[in-house]
Chain A
């Protein structure tokens, strides 16, 4: 299914954007940054055109997509969680080409500070779009009677947590997101750049819990898994 996403649905929060820029909560922000933020927000609102594709997939079929080109790490969270998943869906969301072009124009005009601020805003928004897709999928499942106690949906993306980025090719072949203007480069990079793809895994919340002690965890600089797991299990106790 095509995901209809309104621009307002992905408008990023100020604190999140400032954090992405490296400005901690509560820090005093200069008038320059205030002006940049306002200008970036204006460009963002003008050019963002979010859209997405979401498609259910069976475990066996996903296992084939996940296998990709055989370059995944020998063991990974997704491979272990897969057997305990109750529902799966592949997804991709994008903010559209307009944002990428606006960024290029900022760079061409040597307005790097504005480009950097807009880039941060778009990165936060792209994650927000993926969060939204996650919530929509959760809603769809509950609408068709998914009643697993303490059930939760969490997403995993090629290029992270042992899933090699070349897995994008089979994921794209399944989703056909060219319908919303997305394509892959030779190096499996999504175009437009501000896009997120992956699998959503629904099941008891506990299946998503893993310790970041895989071989590749030592080489990982992102460590975003920790924040996502923390958010998932904080919500559990909220």
Chain B
């Protein structure tokens, strides 16, 4: 098994302590960082995603695999930055103003990172102005908003509206999700997309970024 195949396998197994030294080994062997990323780490996560979709494995397995992937990314990131290799994109995420629930948002964050996105997690109870400001200042192309309460959902509309008023509507795209949020609500408030769960959110963000 090549070192890249071993990295992929360790990611699939959710074996973070094995991913880090294998990644170091690949770097030491002179394998280009982008190749380690694509053919090792992301290759492993792709298998994990495929198995998750057909219910061979379940969300906790995916979360462990994503964490294992981070272990490799920690080693690779400085080299990717040095080589000017961009991430898939930067996504600002947060639970909207008034909402203190963040398990769903955290899951989306870890899955996005696992897929190769750079994630800025603003936490919970995030004011619309702060979301927009963080996206603008950080150069994010997507804002992901989560709400678990019907009473906090209107804050999502405020973010969309704020982006429109600031002329950022076409530059910074929005995706909304959370237990009470529906696709119809997303359309109604003018959000660009709706994610029904963490896995779906990643696919949708990929489409949003790819469709730019």
Contacts and interface: CB of A to CB of B under 8 A. Distances in A.
A219 B184 contact: yes
A145 B40 CA distance: 69
A234 interface: no
What secondary structure prevails in chain A residues at the interface with B? loop
Contacts of A107: 102, 106
A107 B99 CA distance: 17
Interface stretch (A6-14, A19-27, A46-54, A88-96): A19-27
A35 B112 CA distance: 25
A33 B180 contact: no
A13 B6 CA distance: 37
Contacts of B59: 21-22, 116
Contacts of A112: 63, 66-67, 106-107, 110
Contacts, number: 86
A219 B185 contact: yes
Nearest to B178: A221
B60 interface: yes
The winner among A112, A115, A222 for most chain B CB atoms within 10 A is: A112
Given A221-B180, A221-B181, A113 B60 contact: yes
A159 B61 contact: no
Contacts of B100: 185, 187, 189, 191, 193
Given A107-B106, A221-B180, A159 B14 contact: no
Contacts of B152: 187
10 contacts: A32-B64, A33-B61, A117-B60, A119-B103, A159-B150, A166-B151, A187-B100, A189-B99, A189-B100, A221-B180
